[in-house]
Protein backbone atom coordinates (compact mmCIF):
# COMPACT_ATOMS: atom_id res chain seq x y z
CA UNK A 1 0.00 0.00 0.00
CA UNK A 2 1.49 3.28 -1.12
CA UNK A 3 0.73 6.79 0.07
CA UNK A 4 0.19 9.15 -2.86
CA UNK A 5 -0.29 12.92 -2.79
CA UNK A 6 -2.25 14.19 -5.80
CA UNK A 7 -2.43 17.89 -6.51
CA UNK A 8 -5.01 19.44 -8.84
CA UNK A 9 -4.72 23.04 -10.01
CA UNK A 10 -7.44 25.63 -10.56
CA UNK A 11 -8.27 24.59 -14.12
CA UNK A 12 -8.63 20.92 -13.11
CA UNK A 13 -11.25 21.93 -10.51
CA UNK A 14 -12.68 24.83 -12.53
CA UNK A 15 -16.33 23.75 -12.24
CA UNK A 16 -18.37 21.03 -10.55
CA UNK A 17 -18.14 18.74 -13.58
CA UNK A 18 -14.34 18.89 -13.42
CA UNK A 19 -14.41 18.36 -9.67
CA UNK A 20 -16.43 15.21 -10.32
CA UNK A 21 -13.76 14.13 -12.81
CA UNK A 22 -11.08 14.70 -10.20
CA UNK A 23 -13.10 12.62 -7.74
CA UNK A 24 -13.31 9.78 -10.26
CA UNK A 25 -9.57 9.88 -10.82
CA UNK A 26 -8.95 9.84 -7.08
CA UNK A 27 -11.41 6.96 -6.69
CA UNK A 28 -9.53 4.94 -9.33
CA UNK A 29 -6.23 5.50 -7.56
CA UNK A 30 -7.77 4.50 -4.24
CA UNK A 31 -9.22 1.35 -5.82
CA UNK A 32 -5.61 0.22 -6.31
CA UNK A 33 -5.41 0.00 -2.53
CA UNK A 34 -3.36 3.16 -1.99
CA UNK A 35 -3.85 5.90 0.57
CA UNK A 36 -4.61 9.17 -1.19
CA UNK A 37 -4.10 12.74 -0.05
CA UNK A 38 -5.56 15.31 -2.45
CA UNK A 39 -4.37 18.91 -2.56
CA UNK A 40 -6.53 21.36 -4.51
CA UNK A 41 -6.33 24.95 -5.61
CA UNK A 42 -9.19 27.43 -5.78
CA UNK A 43 -11.54 26.93 -8.73
CA UNK A 44 -10.12 28.93 -11.63
CA UNK A 45 -11.45 32.47 -11.55
CA UNK A 46 -12.37 32.43 -7.87
CA UNK A 47 -9.13 33.94 -6.59
CA UNK A 48 -9.15 36.63 -9.28
CA UNK A 49 -12.78 37.42 -8.45
CA UNK A 50 -11.93 37.88 -4.77
CA UNK A 51 -8.93 40.06 -5.60
CA UNK A 52 -11.22 42.16 -7.79
CA UNK A 53 -13.66 42.65 -4.89
CA UNK A 54 -10.84 43.81 -2.62
CA UNK A 55 -9.53 46.19 -5.29
CA UNK A 56 -13.01 47.66 -5.67
CA UNK A 57 -12.60 48.83 -2.09
CA UNK A 58 -8.98 49.94 -2.08
CA UNK A 59 -5.92 49.60 -4.25
CA UNK A 60 -3.74 48.49 -1.34
CA UNK A 61 -5.62 46.02 0.86
CA UNK A 62 -3.84 44.79 4.00
CA UNK A 63 -2.04 41.53 3.36
CA UNK A 64 -3.42 39.82 6.47
CA UNK A 65 -6.95 40.48 5.22
CA UNK A 66 -6.09 39.34 1.69
CA UNK A 67 -5.00 36.02 3.19
CA UNK A 68 -8.26 35.82 5.15
CA UNK A 69 -10.12 36.53 1.91
CA UNK A 70 -8.19 34.36 -0.54
CA UNK A 71 -7.94 31.31 1.74
CA UNK A 72 -11.69 30.86 1.22
CA UNK A 73 -11.12 29.87 -2.42
CA UNK A 74 -9.29 26.64 -1.61
CA UNK A 75 -11.59 25.98 1.34
CA UNK A 76 -14.53 25.92 -1.07
CA UNK A 77 -12.78 23.46 -3.39
CA UNK A 78 -11.86 20.99 -0.63
CA UNK A 79 -15.47 20.85 0.55
CA UNK A 80 -16.81 20.35 -2.98
CA UNK A 81 -14.18 17.68 -3.70
CA UNK A 82 -15.10 15.81 -0.52
CA UNK A 83 -18.76 16.02 -1.50
CA UNK A 84 -17.93 14.64 -4.97
CA UNK A 85 -16.02 11.72 -3.44
CA UNK A 86 -18.90 10.98 -1.09
CA UNK A 87 -21.18 10.86 -4.12
CA UNK A 88 -18.97 8.02 -5.41
CA UNK A 89 -19.25 6.24 -2.08
CA UNK A 90 -15.67 7.09 -1.04
CA UNK A 91 -15.13 8.24 2.55
CA UNK A 92 -13.40 11.60 2.40
CA UNK A 93 -12.64 14.43 4.80
CA UNK A 94 -11.59 17.95 3.87
CA UNK A 95 -9.05 19.91 5.89
CA UNK A 96 -8.02 23.54 5.70
CA UNK A 97 -4.30 24.20 5.67
CA UNK A 98 -4.50 24.97 9.38
CA UNK A 99 -6.40 21.77 10.14
CA UNK A 100 -3.87 19.76 8.15
CA UNK A 101 -1.15 21.00 10.49
CA UNK A 102 0.58 23.34 8.04
CA UNK A 103 2.40 25.94 10.13
CA UNK A 104 3.95 28.93 8.38
CA UNK A 105 5.80 32.07 9.29
CA UNK A 106 3.78 35.27 9.55
CA UNK A 107 4.70 36.85 6.22
CA UNK A 108 1.19 37.30 4.86
CA UNK A 109 0.53 36.61 1.13
CA UNK A 110 3.92 34.90 0.74
CA UNK A 111 4.36 32.85 3.89
CA UNK A 112 6.97 30.12 4.12
CA UNK A 113 6.08 26.71 5.51
CA UNK A 114 7.86 26.21 8.83
CA UNK A 115 6.68 22.71 9.63
CA UNK A 116 3.82 20.30 9.11
CA UNK A 117 2.30 18.16 11.88
CA UNK A 118 0.88 15.29 9.86
CA UNK A 119 -0.71 13.36 12.76
CA UNK A 120 -4.28 14.36 11.90
CA UNK A 121 -3.84 13.48 8.20
CA UNK A 122 -2.32 10.08 9.04
CA UNK A 123 -5.13 9.35 11.46
CA UNK A 124 -7.81 10.15 8.89
CA UNK A 125 -5.99 8.10 6.22
CA UNK A 126 -5.67 5.15 8.56
CA UNK A 127 -9.40 5.34 9.22
CA UNK A 128 -9.91 4.73 5.49
CA UNK A 129 -10.53 8.29 4.30
CA UNK A 130 -9.26 10.17 1.33
CA UNK A 131 -7.93 13.36 2.89
CA UNK A 132 -8.43 16.57 0.94
CA UNK A 133 -6.19 19.45 1.93
CA UNK A 134 -6.56 23.08 0.90
CA UNK A 135 -3.48 24.15 -1.05
CA UNK A 136 -1.80 27.55 -0.86
CA UNK A 137 -2.56 28.15 2.84
CA UNK A 138 -1.51 27.53 6.40
CA UNK A 139 -1.59 29.23 9.75
CA UNK A 140 0.95 30.80 12.04
CA UNK A 141 1.70 29.45 15.48
CA UNK A 142 -0.74 31.96 16.95
CA UNK A 143 -3.58 31.02 14.61
CA UNK A 144 -3.40 33.65 11.86
CA UNK A 145 -4.46 32.41 8.42
CA UNK A 146 -1.66 32.78 5.86
CA UNK A 147 -1.22 32.06 2.16
CA UNK A 148 1.93 30.89 0.42
CA UNK A 149 1.84 33.07 -2.68
CA UNK A 150 2.20 32.05 -6.32
CA UNK A 151 2.46 28.33 -6.94
CA UNK A 152 1.54 27.78 -3.32
CA UNK A 153 -0.63 24.73 -3.97
CA UNK A 154 2.25 22.86 -5.62
CA UNK A 155 4.31 23.72 -2.57
CA UNK A 156 1.60 22.43 -0.22
CA UNK A 157 1.54 19.13 -2.12
CA UNK A 158 5.28 18.68 -2.10
CA UNK A 159 5.68 19.73 1.53
CA UNK A 160 2.86 17.39 2.58
CA UNK A 161 4.45 14.57 0.59
CA UNK A 162 7.68 15.20 2.48
CA UNK A 163 6.01 15.41 5.89
CA UNK A 164 3.87 12.32 5.26
CA UNK A 165 6.81 10.44 3.75
CA UNK A 166 4.61 9.81 0.71
CA UNK A 167 5.73 7.35 -1.94
CA UNK A 168 4.79 9.67 -4.77
CA UNK A 169 3.55 13.17 -5.35
CA UNK A 170 1.59 13.79 -8.54
CA UNK A 171 1.13 17.33 -9.81
CA UNK A 172 -1.87 17.29 -12.15
CA UNK A 173 -1.89 20.21 -14.52
CA UNK A 174 -3.07 21.22 -18.00
CA UNK A 175 0.11 20.03 -19.71
CA UNK A 176 1.18 16.44 -20.23
CA UNK A 177 4.55 16.82 -18.55
CA UNK A 178 7.86 18.53 -19.21
CA UNK A 179 8.85 18.73 -22.87
CA UNK A 180 12.23 19.14 -24.56
CA UNK A 181 10.82 22.46 -25.79
CA UNK A 182 7.48 24.25 -26.01
CA UNK A 183 5.53 22.03 -28.49
CA UNK A 184 3.61 25.06 -29.73
CA UNK A 185 6.87 26.43 -31.15
CA UNK A 186 8.82 23.21 -31.78
CA UNK A 187 6.49 20.54 -33.25
CA UNK A 188 9.15 17.84 -32.81
CA UNK A 189 9.47 18.48 -29.07
CA UNK A 190 9.10 15.35 -26.96
CA UNK A 191 7.81 14.69 -23.49
CA UNK A 192 10.60 13.78 -21.07
CA UNK A 193 10.01 10.63 -19.02
CA UNK A 194 12.25 12.01 -16.28
CA UNK A 195 14.30 15.05 -15.41
CA UNK A 196 16.52 16.04 -12.51
CA UNK A 197 15.58 18.70 -9.96
CA UNK A 198 18.41 20.92 -11.19
CA UNK A 199 17.34 20.66 -14.80
CA UNK A 200 13.77 21.38 -13.83
CA UNK A 201 14.94 24.41 -11.86
CA UNK A 202 17.02 25.74 -14.73
CA UNK A 203 14.19 25.16 -17.21
CA UNK A 204 11.71 26.91 -14.90
CA UNK A 205 14.16 29.77 -14.49
CA UNK A 206 14.55 29.82 -18.28
CA UNK A 207 10.89 30.50 -18.91
CA UNK A 208 9.36 27.00 -19.07
CA UNK A 209 6.52 27.85 -16.70
CA UNK A 210 5.36 24.38 -15.68
CA UNK A 211 6.01 25.01 -11.98
CA UNK A 212 7.26 27.74 -9.72
CA UNK A 213 10.92 27.53 -8.74
CA UNK A 214 10.26 27.37 -5.00
CA UNK A 215 8.23 24.16 -5.21
CA UNK A 216 11.01 22.45 -7.15
CA UNK A 217 13.61 23.79 -4.73
CA UNK A 218 11.59 22.45 -1.82
CA UNK A 219 11.26 19.04 -3.50
CA UNK A 220 15.01 18.95 -4.13
CA UNK A 221 15.80 19.95 -0.56
CA UNK A 222 13.59 17.22 0.92
CA UNK A 223 14.17 14.78 -1.93
CA UNK A 224 10.49 14.49 -2.81
CA UNK A 225 10.03 12.62 -6.10
CA UNK A 226 7.14 14.12 -8.00
CA UNK A 227 5.43 13.63 -11.32
CA UNK A 228 4.04 16.38 -13.52
CA UNK A 229 1.12 15.00 -15.52
CA UNK A 230 -2.14 15.93 -17.18
CA UNK A 231 -5.52 15.93 -15.46
CA UNK A 232 -7.13 15.49 -18.92
CA UNK A 233 -5.79 12.02 -19.74
CA UNK A 234 -4.05 8.99 -18.26
CA UNK A 235 -0.70 9.39 -20.00
CA UNK A 236 2.33 9.06 -17.76
CA UNK A 237 3.91 12.43 -17.12
CA UNK A 238 7.43 13.52 -16.29
CA UNK A 239 9.09 12.26 -13.11
CA UNK A 240 11.21 14.90 -11.39
CA UNK A 241 13.86 13.44 -9.10
CA UNK A 242 17.45 13.47 -7.98
CA UNK A 243 19.94 13.21 -10.81
CA UNK A 244 20.89 9.67 -11.86
CA UNK A 245 23.99 8.54 -13.73
CA UNK A 246 22.04 7.70 -16.85
CA UNK A 247 20.77 11.26 -17.05
CA UNK A 248 24.31 12.40 -17.89
CA UNK A 249 24.21 10.47 -21.15
CA UNK A 250 21.93 13.14 -22.49
CA UNK A 251 23.83 16.37 -23.03
CA UNK A 252 20.87 18.69 -23.42
CA UNK A 253 17.60 17.88 -21.65
CA UNK A 254 15.57 20.76 -22.92
CA UNK A 255 15.54 24.06 -24.75
CA UNK A 256 13.47 27.00 -23.68
CA UNK A 257 12.71 30.53 -24.59
CA UNK A 258 11.70 33.40 -22.32
CA UNK A 259 10.03 36.23 -24.19
CA UNK A 260 9.18 38.12 -21.04
CA UNK A 261 12.67 39.57 -20.60
CA UNK A 262 13.98 43.03 -21.40
CA UNK A 263 17.55 44.24 -21.47
CA UNK A 264 19.04 47.24 -19.71
CA UNK A 265 22.58 48.46 -20.32
CA UNK A 266 24.38 51.02 -18.18
CA UNK A 267 27.12 52.48 -20.30
CA UNK A 268 30.37 54.02 -19.12
CA UNK A 269 30.35 52.97 -15.49
CA UNK A 270 33.67 53.76 -13.73
CA UNK A 271 35.56 50.54 -13.22
CA UNK A 272 35.84 50.88 -9.44
CA UNK A 273 34.89 48.47 -6.69
CA UNK A 274 31.30 48.73 -5.52
CA UNK A 275 29.76 50.33 -8.60
CA UNK A 276 27.91 47.18 -9.69
CA UNK A 277 26.80 46.50 -6.12
CA UNK A 278 25.23 49.94 -5.99
CA UNK A 279 23.21 49.32 -9.09
CA UNK A 280 21.86 45.96 -8.04
CA UNK A 281 21.21 46.98 -4.44
CA UNK A 282 19.04 49.81 -5.76
CA UNK A 283 17.17 47.41 -8.05
CA UNK A 284 16.64 44.91 -5.22
CA UNK A 285 15.31 47.65 -2.95
CA UNK A 286 12.79 48.49 -5.67
CA UNK A 287 11.79 44.76 -5.70
CA UNK A 288 12.92 44.38 -9.32
CA UNK A 289 13.96 40.85 -10.15
CA UNK A 290 17.17 40.76 -12.18
CA UNK A 291 17.91 37.63 -14.20
CA UNK A 292 21.07 37.70 -16.36
CA UNK A 293 23.93 40.06 -15.53
CA UNK A 294 26.89 40.62 -17.81
CA UNK A 295 29.74 42.97 -17.23
CA UNK A 296 32.22 43.39 -20.04
CA UNK A 297 35.89 43.74 -19.46
CA UNK A 298 36.90 47.34 -19.04
CA UNK A 299 37.74 49.34 -22.09
CA UNK A 300 41.43 50.00 -22.29
CA UNK A 301 42.31 53.69 -22.35
CA UNK A 302 42.83 56.68 -20.06
CA UNK A 303 39.67 56.52 -17.90
CA UNK A 304 38.80 52.89 -17.20
CA UNK A 305 35.04 52.46 -17.61
CA UNK A 306 32.86 49.46 -18.23
CA UNK A 307 29.34 48.61 -19.47
CA UNK A 308 26.96 46.60 -17.29
CA UNK A 309 24.02 44.82 -18.92
CA UNK A 310 21.24 42.92 -17.24
CA UNK A 311 17.79 41.57 -17.98
CA UNK A 312 14.58 42.18 -16.04
CA UNK A 313 10.97 41.13 -16.52
CA UNK A 314 9.39 43.26 -19.25
CA UNK A 315 6.80 44.88 -16.93
CA UNK A 316 9.66 46.09 -14.69
CA UNK A 317 11.65 47.73 -17.49
CA UNK A 318 10.46 51.32 -17.03
CA UNK A 319 10.84 51.08 -13.27
CA UNK A 320 14.36 49.67 -13.67
CA UNK A 321 15.55 52.49 -15.92
CA UNK A 322 14.04 55.04 -13.51
CA UNK A 323 15.90 53.45 -10.63
CA UNK A 324 19.18 53.67 -12.55
CA UNK A 325 18.57 57.27 -13.61
CA UNK A 326 17.91 58.02 -9.97
CA UNK A 327 21.45 56.89 -9.12
CA UNK A 328 23.00 59.53 -11.38
CA UNK A 329 23.96 61.90 -8.50
CA UNK A 330 25.94 59.11 -6.78
CA UNK A 331 27.10 57.02 -9.70
CA UNK A 332 28.69 58.49 -12.75
CA UNK A 333 27.79 56.74 -15.97
CA UNK A 334 27.27 57.83 -19.53
CA UNK A 335 23.87 56.51 -20.43
CA UNK A 336 21.19 53.89 -19.79
CA UNK A 337 19.73 52.02 -22.74
CA UNK A 338 16.73 49.72 -22.67
CA UNK A 339 15.66 47.09 -25.17
CA UNK A 340 12.31 45.33 -24.94
CA UNK A 341 12.75 43.61 -28.25
CA UNK A 342 14.81 40.68 -27.00
CA UNK A 343 14.32 37.18 -25.66
CA UNK A 344 16.39 34.67 -23.75
CA UNK A 345 17.18 31.28 -25.28
CA UNK A 346 18.49 28.58 -22.93
CA UNK A 347 19.68 25.01 -23.20
CA UNK A 348 19.67 22.90 -20.04
CA UNK A 349 21.14 19.52 -19.19
CA UNK A 350 23.19 17.90 -16.45
CA UNK A 351 25.13 16.09 -19.20
CA UNK A 352 26.78 19.40 -20.16
CA UNK A 353 29.05 19.12 -17.18
CA UNK A 354 30.92 16.19 -18.74
CA UNK A 355 30.67 17.26 -22.36
CA UNK A 356 32.94 20.03 -23.58
CA UNK A 357 32.05 22.27 -26.45
CA UNK A 358 28.30 22.47 -25.88
CA UNK A 359 28.39 26.27 -25.84
CA UNK A 360 30.52 26.39 -28.98
CA UNK A 361 28.08 24.12 -30.77
CA UNK A 362 25.11 26.25 -29.70
CA UNK A 363 26.81 29.44 -30.92
CA UNK A 364 27.68 27.68 -34.20
CA UNK A 365 24.06 26.75 -34.75
CA UNK A 366 22.95 30.34 -34.14
CA UNK A 367 25.71 31.73 -36.38
CA UNK A 368 24.66 29.34 -39.11
CA UNK A 369 21.15 30.78 -38.83
CA UNK A 370 22.64 34.26 -38.96
CA UNK A 371 21.30 35.11 -35.51
CA UNK A 372 23.22 37.65 -33.48
CA UNK A 373 23.98 36.97 -29.80
CA UNK A 374 23.63 39.93 -27.42
CA UNK A 375 24.49 38.54 -23.99
CA UNK A 376 25.77 35.19 -22.84
CA UNK A 377 25.42 33.69 -19.38
CA UNK A 378 26.31 30.18 -18.35
CA UNK A 379 25.85 27.94 -15.34
CA UNK A 380 27.16 24.45 -14.88
CA UNK A 381 24.09 22.93 -16.54
CA UNK A 382 22.62 25.83 -18.53
CA UNK A 383 23.68 28.16 -21.28
CA UNK A 384 21.54 31.21 -21.93
CA UNK A 385 21.86 33.78 -24.67
CA UNK A 386 19.97 36.96 -25.34
CA UNK A 387 18.91 37.37 -28.94
CA UNK A 388 16.53 39.60 -30.88
CA UNK A 389 12.91 38.74 -30.19
CA UNK A 390 11.93 38.17 -33.86
CA UNK A 391 14.68 35.54 -34.13
CA UNK A 392 13.47 33.68 -31.05
CA UNK A 393 11.24 30.91 -32.41
CA UNK A 394 13.57 30.18 -35.34
CA UNK A 395 16.54 29.98 -32.98
CA UNK A 396 14.64 27.66 -30.63
CA UNK A 397 13.78 25.28 -33.46
CA UNK A 398 17.35 25.28 -34.82
CA UNK A 399 18.93 24.62 -31.42
CA UNK A 400 16.37 21.93 -30.59
CA UNK A 401 17.06 20.29 -33.99
CA UNK A 402 20.79 20.33 -33.38
CA UNK A 403 20.75 18.90 -29.86
CA UNK A 404 17.49 16.97 -29.54
CA UNK A 405 16.49 16.09 -33.09
Nearest to 27 by CA among 113, 168, 129: 129
Residues 6+ apart with CB under 8 A from 57: none
Closest CA to 384 of 245, 256, 280: 256
> What count of other Cβ atoms lies within 10 Å of the Cβ of residue 82?
23
What are the residues whose beta carbons fall under 8 Å from the beta carbon of 156, sequence distance 6 or more?
7, 39, 97, 102, 113, 133, 134, 135, 136, 137, 138, 148
Cα separation, 26 vs 244, whole angstroms: 30
Build a one-symbol-per-residue string for 5-44: x at contacts with its own copies by CB under 8 A, - elsewhere.
Answer: -----------x--xx------------------------
CB of 133 to its own copies, least distance (A): 12
Contact flag: residue 53 with its own copies (CB under 8 A): yes
Q: Give DSSP secondary structure letters for 172-227.
A: EESSSS-BSS-TTT-TT--B-SEEEHHHHHHHHHTT-TTS-HHHHHHHHHTT--EE
Residue 54 beta carbon to its own copies: minimum distance, rounded to whole angstroms: 6
User: Which of residues 24, 44, 99, 109 is near its own copies by CB under 8 A?
Assistant: 99
Among 3, 36, 84, 240, binds its own copies (CB under 8 A): 84
CB of 229 within 8 A of CB of 242?
no
**20/191 with CB nearer its own copies:** 20
Of positions 27, 51, 54, 213, contacts its own copies by CB under 8 A: 54
Residue 384 contacts residue 376 (beta carbons within 8 Å): yes
Q: Which of 27, 44, 51, 66 binds its own copies (CB under 8 A)?
A: 66
Specify the length of the chain in residues: 405
Binding segment toward its own copies, per CB under 8 A, in 79-87, 209-217, 264-272, 303-311: 79-87
Question: Residues 316-355 vs its own copies: string with x where CB under 8 A?
Answer: ----------------------------------------
CB under 8 A: which stretch of 55-63, 151-159, 224-232, 335-343 binds its own copies?
Answer: 55-63
- Among positions 57, 277, 297, 303, the unique one binding its own copies when judged by CB under 8 A: 57
Closer by beta carbon to its own copies, 21 or else 298: 21
Among 33, 143, 301, 302, which residue sits at the site for its own copies (rule: CB under 8 A)? Answer: 143
Of 130 and 262, CB closest to its own copies: 130
Cα 327 to the chain's mean position, in Å? 32
Asked if residue 83 binds its own copies (CB under 8 A), the reply is yes
Query: What number of other Cβ atoms are within 10 A of residue 295's Cβ?
Result: 15
- Using DSSP's 3-state secondary structure scheme, residue 151 falls into coil
Residue 43 per-residue DSSP state: P
Total residues at interface with its own copies (CB under 8 A): 35
Q: How far is the CB of 69 from its own copies (least distance, A)?
A: 4
Residues that bind its own copies (CB under 8 A): 16, 19-20, 50, 53-54, 56-58, 61-62, 64-66, 68-69, 71-73, 75-76, 78-80, 82-84, 86-87, 93-94, 96, 99, 143, 145
Amino acid sequence: MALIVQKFGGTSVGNTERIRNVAQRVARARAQGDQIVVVVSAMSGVTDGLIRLAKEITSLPAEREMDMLLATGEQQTIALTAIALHALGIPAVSLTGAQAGIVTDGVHTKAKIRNISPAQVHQLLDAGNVVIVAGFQGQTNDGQITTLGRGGSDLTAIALAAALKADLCQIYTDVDGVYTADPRIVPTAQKLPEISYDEMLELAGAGAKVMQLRSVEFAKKFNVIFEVRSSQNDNPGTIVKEETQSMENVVVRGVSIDKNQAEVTVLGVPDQPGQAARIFRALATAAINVDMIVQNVSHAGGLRVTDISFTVDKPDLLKATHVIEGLKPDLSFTEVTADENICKLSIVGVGMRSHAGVAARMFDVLAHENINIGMISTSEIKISVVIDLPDGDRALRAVHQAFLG
